[in-house]
Structure 1
Amino acid sequence: MLLKSLRLGSNDLARTRAFYDATFGAFGVEPSATPAEYPIVMYTLPGGTRFVCGPARDGQPATHANGGTIIFEAPSDDAVRAWHAAGLANGGTSEGDPEPKPQARGAFGAYLRDPDGNKLGAYHGLAMG
């Protein structure tokens, strides 16, 4: 089964666009081409998965998942470092510095929270399973 789309909540699309343009840019992903007047920000990730951010459909403030983490595959250790630095420079907060992670059998990784509190990770060399 192929993941076609992943959607996260956002309470400030301009702030979200700046964060994800910068962090995805560290992996070579183009900035969002979604027009600023649209109620979402969308990216096409390598492999074709759509990554979408927008307000909660029920009109309530968007909140992050407790225990949820989205992990991205980075092309190199330097890309993980650049991703983490870009996130911090664009409203994110660190949840784990770029380094080999013992919980991931030494794969090089880092963690951030985006400006809405969604937890993200980036790894190079992560073997699942």
Structure 2
Amino acid sequence: MIGSNDIERSKRFYDTVLGTLGAGEGTRNIADSGHTRLIYNDGAGTNFIVSEPINDEPASVANGSTVAFSCDSPGQVKLLHDTAVAAGGTSIEAPPGPRETASMGTIELAYFRDPDGNKLCGIHFPA
């Protein structure tokens, strides 16, 4: 779960971005507190939730935190990144592409931030 200061903007962004991974449109959920949440479900038990902060403080990003979305291929990593940037996100760090790791070999990564500044990435591990 991540926070948002503009749930309508987040819905437009994540409906578009997560659509590249096959997630449907986010379902609106109203918490007992009256705050709106968007729930994205991939049908396989994975949920991603965007919420207005329940404590009524501004949403902020967590230093050192990254939400990673598993992608089926290097091409899907790039598509996720490019779609996010076109939908109002910001590309960060190195351009999408391969990264060498000592323990997993070459993985594909693409880092970006959503309009609220949350750090996200698309990742593909070799078979």
Q: Into which bin does the TM-score normalised by the smaller protein fall?
A: 0.7 to 0.9
- Give the % identical residues: 36
Per-residue deviation, 1:102? 2.4
Structure 1 residues 75-86: aligned runs within 5 Å = 75-86=72-83
Q: Contact 1:84 / 1:112 at 8 angstroms: preserved in 2? A: yes
SS of 2:28's equivalent in the other structure is: coil
Q: Is structure 2 residue 37 aligned with structure 1 residue 40?
A: yes
The structure that is strand-richer by fraction is: 2
Does 2:64 align with 1:67? yes
User: Structure 2 residue aligned with 1:99, among 77, 97, 100?
Assistant: 97
Decide whether the 8 Å contact of 1:19 with 1:86 is kept in 2. Answer: no
Structure 1 residues not aligned, in runs of 5+: 1-6
**Within 5 Å, which residues of 2 pair with 1:2-81?**
7-34=1-28, 39-81=36-78
Q: 5+ residue gaps in structure 2?
A: none
Number of aligned residue pairs: give it. 121
Give the aligned CA root-mean-square deviation in angstroms. Answer: 2.2
SS in 2 for 1:106: strand
Residues 51-106 of structure 1: per-residue CA shift (max 9 Å, x gap): 11111111110000000011111011111111001100111111142100124632
In the other structure, the counterpart of 2:85 is 88
TM-score, normalization: structure 2?
A: 0.84
TM-score, with structure 1 as normaliser: 0.83
